[in-house]
Amino acid sequence: MQKDSPWGSLAVCDAHVHFLSHRFFSWLASQKPGLDLETLAAQIGLQLPPAEPEQLATLWTRDLDRHQVARVALIASMPGDEESVLAAAQAHPERFFAYAMASPRAWPSTPPLVDAVCLFPAMHRYSIHDEFVVPVFEWAAQHQRAVFVHCGVLSVGIRDKFGLESRFDMRFSNPIDLHALALQFSKVPIIVPHFGAGYFREALMLADLCPNVYLDTSSTNSWMRYQESHLDLRQVFRRTLDVIGPRRLLFGTDSSLFPWGWKHQVFDDQAKALYELGVSHADAKLIFGENLLRIMAR
């Protein structure tokens, strides 16, 4: 499947889509007694997902078809919900990669063989230096899987909409904390989303020192407003390409909810910025799809 772009046709693969399953919403409701999900969802225009993850996966495939998107990485939205993304990927193996969200404190003795594991140290309040994190990277090295580590600013918009607290701890958000593990597990692809989400300088330092570190481009990148000097998307891309080149950038949107579906505006904005920088068609193919496919290849 090819998508229209400033360069012509591109095979687009999205490295960052959240799979908000019915199980996830049931878990949200359990955190606030009396929360009426159906009523609240209707008030904010949200479409609650079907009970079966395969049905939600079908909704995603239809939306991806509409936007000419070839494949996406589906991120489970809570620890223990890897069954949902695995069911989606098994139902549509040509369209989805399955990413589990994990808390290393509860790392199972027999982990599911997903395509990647996602760590959120600030959300689950642990340091990436803690010893119980190492088995996650050992598993990834043994099975040739990737590890996704969220760094920087973290917010979960759906929790805010439902009036739920997010007691995160940003002490554990610096990409530099990954340096030792990235060196120790040099064959494991490590994905840092949102260009470090406010730790742009630190994310570039880490990626420059560790060739197994990849940066994903997802979301609106509103973290740019925190920088001392004004940055726009073109400047972010220019600086990143200067430091690590095009082979370690992964296009992503941070799409998550229906009825909004896949965030085509994120693609439009990023494609425009890269095209205006003079990025070649060959490098655009790397960033918008080929890099992710290479990482996921077994």
pLDDT tens, 62-109?
999 999 999 999 999 999 999 999 999 999 999 999 999 999 999 988
Q: How confident is the model at residue 118 (pLDDT cuts 50, 70, 90)?
A: very high
> For 250-257, what is the mean pLDDT?
96
Tokens of 219: 């979301």
Domains: count for the chain: 1
Q: Contact 132/179 with Cβ under 8 angstroms?
A: no
Q: What is the DSSP letter of 287?
A: I
Give the per-residue pLDDT at 285: 98
Residue 138: give its domain's CATH number.
Answer: 3.20.20.140
Give the per-residue pLDDT at 233: 95
> For 261-273, what is the mean pLDDT?
97
Q: How confident is the model at residue 20 (pLDDT cuts 50, 70, 90)?
A: very high
**Tokens 């940003």 appear where?**
170
Alpha-carbon gap, residue 265 to 105, rounded angstroms: 37
Q: What backbone phi and psi angles, to 5 degrees, belong to 120? A: -130, 80
Alpha-carbon gap, residue 283 to 249, rounded angstroms: 10
Tokens of 222: 């509103």
pLDDT tens, 139-190?
999 999 999 999 999 887 778 777 777 789 999 999 999 999 999 999 999 9
Domain that residue 195 falls in: 3-296
Question: Which residue has better confidence, 200 or 29?
Answer: 200
Angle 22-30/37-44 helices, nearest 10 degrees? 110
Give the per-residue pLDDT at 166: 79
Q: How confident is the model at residue 38 (pLDDT cuts 50, 70, 90)?
A: confident
Q: Contact 179/128 with Cβ under 8 angstroms?
A: no
Give the per-residue pLDDT at 36: 79
Q: Contact 273/235 with Cβ under 8 angstroms?
A: no
